[in-house]
Chain A
Amino acid sequence: MKIIVCIKQVPDTKGGVKFNPDGTLDRGAMLAIMNPDDKAGLEAALRLKDQYGAEVTVLTMGLPKAADVLREAIAMGADKGILVTDRVLGGADTWATSTTIAGAIRNLDYDIIITGRQAIDGDTAQVGPQIAEHLGIPVVSYAQEIKVNGDTVTVKRQYDDRYHMVEVKTPCLITALSELNEPRYMTPGGIFDACKAEITTWGRADLKDVDDSNIGLAGSPTKIARASDKVRKGAGEKFVPETPTEAVDIIVGKLKEKHVI
C-alpha cells in the first residue's frame, strides 16, 4: 500500500503575525511548526503502515525551509519526503495550491492520500477536497477513524450532529481531524534517519498537466483586497472584590443595570 500525506509548515499562531507590503503573509518572520491536523494525518498513515505495511511519502509545498517538516515527518516514521518549491508558486490561494499539489502527485503511485482537515494559518479546509477534485478521486473529509481492508477504506466521517460510516474504494483522499489520534514523538533512530534522508525537491517544471494560468499569485482566482490585524473590542471594567459576596453584588448590579433581570 502506498500512502501520500500532504503536510504544511505553518506559523505557530500563538506568536504574532506579520504581513508583506502586498498583503500576503511574511512567513519568514514567524516561528514554524507542522500543522496539527496534518500531523494527525501523518500519524494515521504511520498506524496503517504499522498495521498493514505501507510506504508513506510526505509531500509539502512551501519555501525551501519547509523541508524541516518533511524531516520531522521522516523522524516520526515516514519513508520519503518531497518538497515542491519554486518562486513562481508563491502567493497561491487554495485553488492554485491544490492544482500545484495535484500536479506533483500525478508523478506518484498511491492508494490513499491523507491531508489534514485544515491548516491553522488559513483555516480554510479547502485544499484537501480540491486536490481530490483535480485528481478525479473520491474524498472523505473530517475523518475520525480510518480502517483499510484490501481496496476498501472505511472512514468514520464526522458531521455537526452525527457521523457516517463510509466505505470508499482506493485510490481516495481522506482529510484528517486532529481528534483522530495522538501523534507519536520522533524516535532517536528516526531523527538519525531524517538527517541522512534525501529530500526530493521539485519545481514548476516537475508538475504534471498543470497550466501556467493555474499557479502562483497570478493563477489565484481570489485576491486579497485588504489584510490587517484584528481590532478587538477593548477591555471593560475589571474588579478585584474582597469577598465572594462583593463579587456577587457587582454581577447582580450589572445584570439589573442592563435589564437582564
Chain B
Amino acid sequence: MNLEEYKGVFVFAQQVDNKVDGIAYELLGEATRLAAPLNAKVTAVLVGSGIKNLADSLAEYGADRVIVVDDPELKDYRTEPYAHALASVINEFKPEIMLVGATAIGRDLGPTVSARVATGLTADCTMLEIGDFPLVAIPGKESEQKHNQLLMTRPAFGGNTIATIACPNNRPQMATVRPGVMQKIEPKKGAKAEVVEFNPGFTPNNRYVTIKEVVKAVNDVADIMDAKILVSGGRGVGSKENFKILEDLAEVLGGTVSCSRAVVDSGWKPKDLQVGQTGKTVRPNVYFAIGISGAIQHVAGMEESDIIIAINKDEDAPIFDVADYGIVGDLNKIVPELTAKLKAEIAAK
C-alpha cells in the first residue's frame, strides 16, 4: 500500500428516504477543519437511489466535491450494496481519511467496508485531530515518527476511559463519529461542488438480503439532540403517568422531555428519547436530570451540556458529581412548584 497515493478527507453522507441525515453535515464540518492543516479537499460520498439533487446541500455545508453512487439497488439501506458502493469509491478515489456517522447504518457499514479495504476503523469517536504518531518521538528513532496522522479519540469501558488511536500504516484512516458531537459549519448559500457520478455495478449475490417490510416509528416527538432545554427523567420519576410533571416543566421552558435507559426499559418512554451510551448524545444549554441516579453510561451522553441541574432525593447519587447545581429533595414536590413559579415569572415579563 503506497500511503502517498491517498489524498483528501471523505465523508459518507448518510441519507435515508432521500433526505440527508444531520450527521452528514456534522461530518462535513469536521472534515473541513481536518482538511485545513492537510491542505486537502473535502469530498462527500452520497449513496442511494435518485439522490443527485442532494449534492447542492452538501456543497453548502462544506463539500468541495460530491461523489454520487446512484443505483436502484441502493434504495433502502442494505449492508452489501452500500458496502460495495463505499468500498469501490475508496479503491477508486483513494481517500486519506474516511469519516462515517456512528449511526445504526454507519456502525454496520463502517466495519464491513474497513474489513473489505483492509484498513483500521476507530468507532464512536468524540474528537478528531491531525498530529504526530507516536505523540512523542522515541529518542533515537525521531525519523520514524509519522506526521499529519489522524488522531482519533474515543471513550471506552462505558465512558470510564478515553483512548486516542492512530492508523499509521494503512489507508484510509477510518473513523465513525457519534451524532451530536461535531459542529456543522454555517452553510454557504449557493455554494456548488464538483459532482462526480460513479457506478461500480451492482449484481445481486448471496450477500444481498431482501427487505420484506419497512416500518417507520411514528415520530411526533421533537429530536432530543436539537433541544436547547431538556427535562430528563429517570427511574426516580416513579411511573409513566408521573412524567406529566416533567412534560409540564418542559412546556413552560419551551424544552423537550428525555429520559434514562431505566425509563425505556420500564416501557415508560420510547427509545428515541433515551440519553446515554446506548441512546443519544445531547448537549443542550440546560439539562435537568430529575430522578436520575447518574450511571456512567447516562453521564457519557449528557455531560457536555452547558448547565446541568440535578434533582434527586438521594444525597449520594453520582449525578451530583457532574451537576452544576444539585438539589437534594423530593422531585414530586419541587418540580410542580418550579413549573408554577416559572410560569409566573415568564408571564410577568
Given contacts A167-B209, A244-B333, contact A261 B342 (CB under 8 A): yes
Q: Which of A16, A128, A163, A248 has the most CB of B within 10 A?
A: A248
Decide if B165 touches A166 in the complex (CB within 8 Å). no
Is the CB of A17 closer than 8 A to any CB of chain B?
A: yes
Which of B83, B119, B211, B337 lies in contact with A166, CB distance below 8 A?
A: B211
For residue A26, give the distance in angstroms from its CB to the closest CB of chain B. 12
Decide if B157 touches A17 in the complex (CB within 8 Å). yes
Which of B155, B157, B209, B286 lies in contact with A138, CB distance below 8 A?
A: B209
Which residues 212-241 of A sit at the B interface, judged by CB distance below 8 A? 220-230, 232-241
How far is A259 from B186 in the complex, measured between Cα atoms in Å?
25
Query: What are the interface flags for A153-164 relative to B under an 8 Å C-beta threshold, 1 for contact and 0 otherwise?
Result: 010001111111
Is the CB of A195 closer than 8 A to any CB of chain B?
A: no
Closest A residue to B306 by beta carbon equals: A258
B interface size (C-beta, 8 A): 91
Query: What are the interface flags for A105-124 relative to B under an 8 Å C-beta threshold, 1 for contact and 0 otherwise?
Result: 00000000000000011111
Query: What are the interface flags for A131-165 relative to B under an 8 Å C-beta threshold, 1 for contact and 0 otherwise?
Result: 01110111111100000000000100011111111
Number of cross-chain contacts by CB at 8 Å: 256
A interface size (C-beta, 8 A): 78
Decide if B121 touches A94 in the complex (CB within 8 Å). yes
How far is A158 from B325 in the complex, measured between Cα atoms in Å?
37
Decide if B325 touches A239 in the complex (CB within 8 Å). yes
Which of A160, A162, A222 lies in contact with B121, CB distance below 8 A?
A: A222
Which of B157, B163, B167, B309 lies in contact with A13, CB distance below 8 A?
A: B157
Is the CB of A181 closer than 8 A to any CB of chain B?
A: no
How far is A134 from B320 in the complex, measured between Cα atoms in Å?
46
For residue B159, give the distance in angstroms from its CB to the closest CB of chain A. 6
Given the complex, which residues of B lie within 8 Å of A248, measured CB to CB? Answer: 334, 337-338, 341
Closest A residue to B79 by beta carbon equals: A139
For residue B320, give the distance in angstroms from its CB to the closest CB of chain A. 5
For residue A31, give the distance in angstroms from its CB to the closest CB of chain B. 13
Decide if A137 touches B210 in the complex (CB within 8 Å). no
Given the complex, which residues of B lie within 8 Å of A38, measured CB to CB? Answer: none
Which residues 155-212 of B sit at the A interface, judged by CB distance below 8 A? 155-170, 206-212
How far is A136 from B80 in the complex, measured between Cα atoms in Å?
10
Decide if A95 touches B157 in the complex (CB within 8 Å). no
Is the CB of A60 closer than 8 A to any CB of chain B?
A: no
Is the CB of A77 closer than 8 A to any CB of chain B?
A: no
Residues on B lying within 8 angstroms of A by beta carbon are 16, 76-80, 83, 103-105, 107-108, 110-112, 114-116, 118-124, 133-135, 151, 155-170, 206-217, 219, 229, 253, 272, 277, 285-286, 296, 299, 303, 307-309, 311, 315, 320-330, 333-334, 337-338, 341-342, 345-346
**6 tightest A-B contacts by CB?**
A221-B120, A222-B120, A236-B324, A133-B115, A126-B111, A124-B123
